[in-house]
């Protein structure tokens, strides 16, 4: 039987590099440290912006070195054929692309900081101890992000990264909580992905103090997501929460009466105190809550929805315009933003009102850039990923690995919903975070299958 518990000893070089990668993308707004451009030329190299890419390349080269040195076999997963199919079709879409060099460069960058991470994690996180260590590291970094975000919210200004965002980040919205990312949608999605992991840590730990701390962290994550005023992330985390209620309830109910009452009391007091301080005793946050209330009232009114959602409706028409000309392979991977004006829907789109060159929907973006073939390949990849994780979860229901797999399914289903509200995988922080978590899930699947083969799990 695989039990919870891990050691920080004997940590490998790759584990250190992966942790540094995750800490960097979580705490440094690397994507906005220089102006964005949509020209026909490639952007200039800027080390802080491309450091995550270089870190992944370093890990991959070290992996290749170890393979050549020891001739150890490459660990495969059930989703490998679907990854290969997706990579092939997205690359094939560049055949008739208007900007093939830009598309090819993006293809390398996106997949290096995306799908390659899945292979790396599967190769190196081969034990249950290593998997738990990585998840704990992710949540520690996530806790720092939450504290940072709440502090900047209390202060009413981001004194560390605010000036950079004002200068270079077109999506910076000071009226909403943005965290270090400078984008409320990115912050909310990032925390939505980590929320199930905090639930898992609170479930598997037996120490009452640690259990309480992780539950408090999860509660503060929910509070922070509310402050971002992001509808898609709230819906996504709500779905994840519904999925996780049964194991959380069982975990708390197993505690003796006194520790259980103490845990719930501490949790309630911490969340209540933080909420009261944030809402009523901090003018900047009070104003944000009032603004959020007004914004929600506007967004939920029938007449206003017809106005606020015109942009999204317009992007469906824009995608249809692309598919009329390029039904199978789209405009080419990474080309949509540069050919947007050619296919833009003109009946319901005001350039002065909606300056974005995006579909604001990941599924539309995939379809517009890689056509119907690309959409089928992408959905097949996600389907294979979730089915593989679900099969392993069914073998381990109630055990720590099974609960971890359930948390990935919960966060993943929420993420699939969230991608319908913005092009999440085009955001480098979200892309790296999601595919790292997918790698963790597949590593857990391999660990479960190995233990099952050894007939020592039960």
Quote the percentage of the chain above a pLDDT of 70: 79
Q: Is 242 inside any structural domain?
A: yes
Hunting for tokens 């705490």 — which residue is that? Answer: 27
Distance CA 318, CA 338 (A): 13
Section 293-300 average pLDDT: 57
Q: At what angle do helices 115-124 and 428-453 cross, to 10 degrees?
A: 40
Distance from the Cα of residue 317 to its chain's centroid = 27
Residue 127 and residue 447: Cα distance in Å, rounded?
6
Rounded average pLDDT over 413-419: 94
Q: What is the dihedral of CA 290, 292, 298, 302, to 10 degrees?
A: -130
User: Residues of the chain with pLDDT > 90: what percent?
Assistant: 44
Taking residues 240-268, what's their average pLDDT? 67
User: Does residue 448 sit within a domain?
Assistant: yes
Angle between the 362-395 and 80-92 helix axes, to the nearest 10 degrees? 170
Structural domains counted in the chain: 1
Q: What is the pLDDT of residue 293?
A: 58
User: Mean pLDDT over residues 428-447, rounded?
Assistant: 96
Q: Kindly state whether residue 447 falls inside one of the protein's structural domains.
A: yes
Q: Tokens 């039990």 sit at which residue?
A: 3
Find, among 279, 301, 266, 265, the residue nearest to 226 by Cα. Answer: 279
Give the SS3 label for residue 350. Answer: coil
User: Residues for the chain: how many in total?
Assistant: 458
What value does the mean pLDDT take over residues 279-299? 56
Q: What is the pLDDT of residue 281?
A: 46
Rg (Cα) of the chain, in Å, rounded? 22
- Given a cut of 90, whether residue 429 has pLDDT beyond it is yes
Residue 7 lies inside a defined structural domain of this protein: no
Q: How far is CA 395 from CA 14, 240, 248, in A?
A: 29, 21, 19
Residue 308 structural domain: 13-453
* Residues 6 or more apart in contact with residue 317 via CB below 8 angstroms: 345, 347, 348
Distance CA(439)–CA(164), nearest Å, equals 32
Question: Using CA atoms, how far apart are residues 158 and 180, in angstroms rounded to an integer?
Answer: 8
Pick from 39, 21, 19: nearest CA to 30: 21
Q: Residue 13: which residues within 8 A CB-CB, separation 6 or more?
A: 62
DSSP code at position 33: S
**Burial (0-12, 13-18, 19+ Cβ within 10 Å), 64:** exposed
Query: For residues 90 and 68, what is the distance between their CA atoms, to the nearest angstrom?
Result: 29
Is the pLDDT at 252 greater than 70? The verdict is no
pLDDT tens digits, 234-244:
889 888 888 88
Spatial CA neighbour of 263 closest among 251, 245, 273, 275: 251
Q: How far apart are CA 344 and CA 322, in angstroms?
A: 9
Q: How confident is the model at residue 376 (pLDDT cuts 50, 70, 90)?
A: very high
Residue 325 forms part of a structural domain = yes
Nearest-angstrom CA–CA distance, 226 and 177: 9
Higher pLDDT, 146 or 33: 146
Question: Is 2 among the domain residues?
Answer: no
Closest CA to 139 of 74, 58, 217: 217
pLDDT at 279 exceeding the cut of 60: no
CA distances (Å), origin 133, targets 15, 63, 70, 220: 9, 20, 25, 22
Between CA 145 and CA 137 the distance in angstroms is 13
Longest dimension (CA), the chain: 68
pLDDT at 261: 58
Q: What is the pLDDT of residue 92?
A: 96
Confidence class for position 452, pLDDT limits 50, 70, 90:
low
pLDDT in tens, 63-121: 888 888 876 678 888 899 999 999 999 999 999 899 999 999 999 999 999 999 999 99
Distance CA 126, CA 440 (A): 10
Top pLDDT among 222 and 140 is at 140
Average pLDDT over residues 406-411: 93
d(CA 371, CA 317): 15
Residue 4, domain member (yes or no)? no
Over 90: is that where the pLDDT of 141 sits?
yes
Rounded to whole angstroms, the Cα distance separating 169 from 380 reads 34
Please check whether residue 164 lies inside any domain of the structure.
yes
Q: Are 379 and 85 in contact (CB under 8 A)?
A: no
């Amino acid at each position: 039987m695989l039990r919870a518990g891990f050691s920080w000893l004997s940590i490998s070089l790759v584990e250190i590099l992966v942790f540094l990668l995750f800490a960097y993308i979580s705490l440094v707004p690397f994507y906005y440290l220089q102006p964005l451009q949509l020209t026909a030329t490639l952007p200039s190299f800027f080390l802080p912006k491309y450091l995550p890419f270089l870190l992944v390349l370093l890990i991959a080269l070290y992996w290749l070195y170890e393979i050549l040195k020891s001739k150890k076999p490459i660990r495969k997963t059930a989703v490998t054929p679907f990854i290969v199919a997706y990579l092939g079709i997205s690359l094939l879409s560049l055949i008739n692309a208007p900007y093939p060099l830009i598309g090819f460069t993006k293809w390398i960058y996106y997949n290096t900081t995306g799908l390659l991470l899945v292979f790396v994690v599967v190769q190196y996180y081969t034990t249950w101890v290593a998997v738990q260590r990585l998840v704990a590291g992710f949540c520690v970094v996530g806790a720092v992000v939450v504290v940072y975000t709440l502090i900047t919210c209390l202060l009413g200004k981001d004194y560390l990264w605010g000036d950079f965002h004002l200068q270079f980040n077109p999506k910076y919205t000071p009226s909403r909580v943005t965290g270090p990312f400078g984008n409320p949608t990115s912050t909310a999605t990032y925390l939505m992905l980590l929320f199930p992991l905090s639930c898992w840590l609170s479930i598997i730990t037996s120490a009452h103090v640690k259990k309480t701390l992780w539950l408090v962290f999860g509660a503060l994550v929910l509070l922070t997501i509310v402050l971002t005023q992001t509808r898609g992330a709230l819906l996504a985390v709500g779905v994840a929460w519904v999925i996780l209620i049964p194991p959380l309830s069982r975990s708390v109910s197993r505690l003796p009466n006194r520790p259980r009452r103490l845990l719930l009391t501490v949790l309630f007091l911490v969340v209540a105190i933080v909420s009261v301080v944030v809402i009523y005793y901090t003018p900047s946050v009070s104003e944000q809550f009032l603004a959020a209330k007004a914004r929600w009232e506007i967004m939920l009114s029938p007449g206003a929805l017809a106005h606020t959602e015109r942009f999204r409706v317009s992007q469906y028409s824009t995608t249809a315009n692309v598919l009329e000309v390029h039904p199978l392979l789209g405009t080419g991977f990474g080309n949509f933003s540069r050919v947007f004006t050619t296919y833009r829907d003109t009946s319901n789109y005001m350039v002065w009102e909606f300056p974005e060159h995006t579909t604001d929907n990941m599924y539309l973006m995939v379809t517009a850039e890689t056509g119907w073939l690309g959409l089928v390949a992408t959905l097949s990849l996600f389907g294979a990923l979730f089915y593989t994780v679900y099969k392993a979860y069914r073998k381990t229901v109630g055990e720590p690995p099974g609960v971890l797999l359930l948390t990935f399914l919960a966060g993943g289903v929420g993420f699939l919903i969230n991608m319908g509200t913005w092009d999440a995988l085009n955001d480098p922080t979200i892309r790296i975070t999601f595919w790292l978590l997918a790698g963790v899930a597949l590593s857990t699947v391999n660990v479960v299958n190995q233990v099952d083969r050894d007939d020592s799990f039960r």
